[in-house]
Chain A
Amino acid sequence: KAGVTQTPRYLIKTRGQQVTLSCSPISGHRSVSWYQQTPGQGLQFLFEYFSETQRNKGNFPGRFSGRQFSNSRSEMNVSTLELGDSALYLCASSFRQGAGDTQYFGPGTRLTVL
């Protein structure tokens, strides 16, 4: 079974631009979560989608948004990019939503904001 895939793997943008990142979960998985990883803050939860609905949201500004499609694929969007948005953005999928369910991570998208 193929793992979680994320595109693109690397991205360079300039301040003020917007960016869209894509995540394809493991086949059959319906929950997709997004995380941001920076050297200073570590791995931080952005949001989770399950059955096309946002179920949980982390403490990030409204510039960060996401959506999930009927095939469980997910996109996240960051508008008005800031230098501090440079990070590794990770997507994780799980079969369902719950404390005992395991999340499997993709390789991440490395975003650099200049």
Chain B
Amino acid sequence: DAKTTQPTSMDCAEGRAANLPCNHSTISGNEYVYWYRQIHSQGPQYIIHGLKNNETNEMASLIITEDRKSSTLILPHATLRDTAVYYCIVRVYGQNFVFGPGTRLSVLP
């Protein structure tokens, strides 16, 4: 079973920041938080990952709480092309990714 909890769906206005929350209250010290997204019927696309510190790349920012029990993916200026299912995954060491149902983000014009 997935070790994360995410909202089923969210809407965001185009041009605004999209903040996608994820709860992972049972995370262990050596487990990473990963975010992927999947646009309809394509392969999942890697977005970002982190262990303890906040991370930023050209696509998004990842904010991890100090107790590591939750995180937020931030898309700073959402566009229509960001409409996708977003998966938050906690990767257990030595195991592969366990995908939950994710959050369906709809970016609205």
- Using a CB–CB distance below 8 Å, which chain A residues touch chain B? 4, 33, 35, 42-45, 48, 56, 58, 88, 90, 92, 97-100, 102-108, 110
Contacts and interface: CB of A to CB of B under 8 A. Distances in A.
Interface in B22-66: 30-32, 34, 36, 41-46, 49, 51
A99 B30 contact: yes
B42 A99 contact: no
A102 B46 contact: yes
B32 A99 contact: yes
B46 A104 contact: yes
Contact of A45 (B32, B97, B101): B97
Interface stretch (B9-17, B76-84, B86-94): B86-94
A89 to B, nearest CB: 10
A100 to B, nearest CB: 5
Interface of A, secondary structure class, is strand
Interface of B: 30-32, 34, 36, 41-46, 49, 51, 87, 91-101
B91 A33 contact: no
Given A42-B100, A42-B101, A99 B46 contact: no
A59 to B, nearest CB: 11
B42 A56 contact: no
A99 B99 contact: no
Contacts of A98: 93-94
A43 B99 contact: yes
Contacts of B97: 33, 43, 45, 92, 103
Contact of B93 (A45, A99, A103, A110): A99
Contacts of B101: 42
B43 A90 contact: yes
A56 B100 CA distance: 19
B62 to A, nearest CB: 13
Q: What 6 pairs across the A-B complex have the smallest Cβ distances?
A: A105-B43, A43-B99, A99-B93, A45-B96, A105-B44, A99-B91
